[in-house]
Every structure is written in structure tokens, then in C-alpha cells.
Homo-oligomer: A and B are copies of this chain.
């Protein structure tokens, strides 16, 4: 699973690590350096998904076939590397939602599939719950602090927008409760991810209950 990364945003791309925003020309990296940067990102993705925040820099360097020094030349700190990975993951989520969830002609089925996908993601990536949790916790007006890790404000708003679009479609189709709001959804995904993370084998059962909670309220 390599080079699935061409479509990611500049800040994590195979160009020079941004010393600061604003200076755009950025002489491109030397050929080997660019290659290494890509290898590092791939390795980091792998190691973070296996060990979550306990991933070790040495291990990442080893899997990238590179010295630690090289890792640190590209990402001055473990934190910054983690952020880059989180941003990639976040974009992957947005991609999926846009591609799979918004194009499905049946919004309810799209919802079911999205929960399924969320659970699978958590199963294969130990850091997933935290990412989704970040999104859920990034409430509307909470953009001030910009917690420890976390995707950018634009990323959060983008995904929230996609979610809102789905909610509209679903409500129009009458398949969900009439009072559903876009902001209701992220916490539910975060919840599912954490359930899977906790090792609950029968997470589908929890999904079933939540889905029932999302259905249109019966006319009184």
C-alpha cells in the first residue's frame, strides 16, 4: 500500500516541509529526498495505525529504511509527523463520504454502509477513534484552542459540510428523524469507533440500536 498519497494536501505532500505558511515558492526537494519523505509517510501511516500514539520514531525510520535523522529532517517532531498523518486520514474520510455516501441513491443504505466502514477503519487503524473523536469534539465555536493534534479548521468544516449535505438528502427522502442535524452525526461515529476499540465484538448490535434511534419518529 504505497503512493496512495498523490491526492493529499500540500502540507503533507512530497514537497519541502513547510517552514512557515506564506513563503510559497519552496525550492523542490532533491529527488532522493522526496522519495525518502514519501517512504517516511508510508511507514508512519503503518506504524501509527498499529500502535496509535505509542508509535516509536525509531520504528518508523526502520520501516522506511531510513535513519532517524532523516525522519527528523522532514518532521521536526513526532507530534508534527502525527499531525501530518492525521490530516491524511481525515482527508481519506472526507473522500469516502463524498464518494460513497453522497452518491448512493439510497441515503439510508449509505448510512448503514458508513457505520460499517467506520468500524472497519477502527479495526485496521488503532488511531482512528481518536481522529473521529477530535472531529466530534471540534464543536462549532470551539475552533479557538486547536487541541494537541487535530486536523485543520478547514478540514473539519469541509467534512461537516458534506455531512450536512447527506442529512438534507436523507431528510428529504424521509428516511431519518425530522429533527436530525449534521452535528448529531460525528458523536455517533466517535461512539462506534470507541466501541470497536474497546473490543466489543458484536458492535453491529450497537449500530442497530443507534440506527433505530435515527429513524423517523413514529407519528404520535
Copies in the complex: 2
State the interface size on chain A (CB cutoff 8 A): 35
Q: Provide the bound-state CA to CA distance between A199 and B219, in Å.
A: 33
Please state if B209 and A134 are interface contacts (CB–CB under 8 Å): no
In the complex, what residue of chain B is closest to A213 when comparing beta carbons? B213
Known A-B contacts A183-B202, A206-B187; A195 and B139 likewise in contact (beta carbons under 8 Å): no
In the complex, what residue of chain B is closest to A197 when comparing beta carbons? B133
The 8 Å CB contact of A209, one of B190, B201, B202, B214, is B214
The 8 Å CB contact of A195, one of B187, B212, B218, is B187
In A181-197, the 8 Å CB interface with B consists of 183-184, 186-188, 190-192, 194-195, 197
* Chain A residues at the B interface, C-beta cutoff of 8 Å: 129, 133-134, 136-137, 139, 142, 177, 183-184, 186-188, 190-192, 194-195, 197-203, 205-206, 209-214, 217-218
